[in-house]
Chain A
Amino acid sequence: MNGLQTGSVYALIALGYSMVYGIILLLNFAHGDIIMVGAYTAWLFMVNFGQTPVLAVIAAVAACTVLGVVIEKVAYTPLRQAPRLSLLITAIGISFLLENLAQLVFGAGARPVPRIFDMPSVSVGSVSLSGTAIVTLLVSVVAMILLNLLIKKSKMGKAMRAVSEDTGTAQLMGISLNKTITFTFAVGSALAGIGSVLYCAAYPQASPTMGSMLGLKAFVAAVLGGIGSIPGAMIGGFCIGLAEAGATALGLSVWKDAMVFAILIIVLIVKPTGILGRNLQEKV
Chain B
Amino acid sequence: MSNLVPVPSRGMVPERDVKDRPVLETIHLGIDFGGLVAVDEFNLVIGKTEIAGLIGPNGAGKTTVFNLLTKVYQPSRGTILLGDKDTSGMNTSQVCRAGMARTFQNIRLFRDMTVAENVMVGLHHSIAYHTPTAILRLPAYWRGERNAREKAMDMLSIFNMQDLGGVKAGALPYGAQRRLEIVRALATNPSILLLDEPAAGMNPTETAELMENIVKIRDTYQIAILLIEHDMKLVMGICEGIAVLNYGKIIAKGTPDEIKSNTAVIEAYLGKKEGQENA
Contact = CB atoms under 8 A, between A and B. Distances in A.
Q: Tell me, yes or no, whether A binds B.
A: yes
Contacts of B37: none
Range class of the B interface residue count: under 10
A284 interface: yes
Nearest to B105: A284
B107 interface: no
B72 interface: yes
A284 B63 CA distance: 9
A284 B66 CA distance: 10
B129 interface: no
Interface string B92-123: 00000000000010000000000000000000
Contacts of B79: none
Contacts of B177: none
Interface in B127-158: none
Interface in B35-91: 63, 67, 72
Contacts of B63: 284
Nearest to A281: B33
A98 B104 CA distance: 46
A278 B104 CA distance: 27
A284 B102 CA distance: 12
Contacts of B72: 284
Contacts of A284: 63, 67, 72, 104
Nearest to B33: A281
A282 to B, nearest CB: 10
A284 B194 CA distance: 14
B195 to A, nearest CB: 15
Interface string A262-284: 00000000000000000000001
B111 to A, nearest CB: 13
A283 to B, nearest CB: 8
Contacts of B104: 284
A284 B68 CA distance: 11
A284 B106 CA distance: 8
Nearest to A284: B72
Interface string A140-180: 00000000000000000000000000000000000000000
A284 B67 CA distance: 8
Nearest to B64: A284
A56 to B, nearest CB: 52
A229 to B, nearest CB: 20
Contacts of B67: 284
A256 B170 CA distance: 49
Nearest to B67: A284
A284 B72 CA distance: 8
A257 to B, nearest CB: 37
A279 to B, nearest CB: 11
B68 to A, nearest CB: 11
A221 B242 CA distance: 54
A214 to B, nearest CB: 39
4 contacts: A284-B63, A284-B67, A284-B72, A284-B104
4 closest residue pairs by CB, A with B: A284-B72, A284-B67, A284-B104, A284-B63
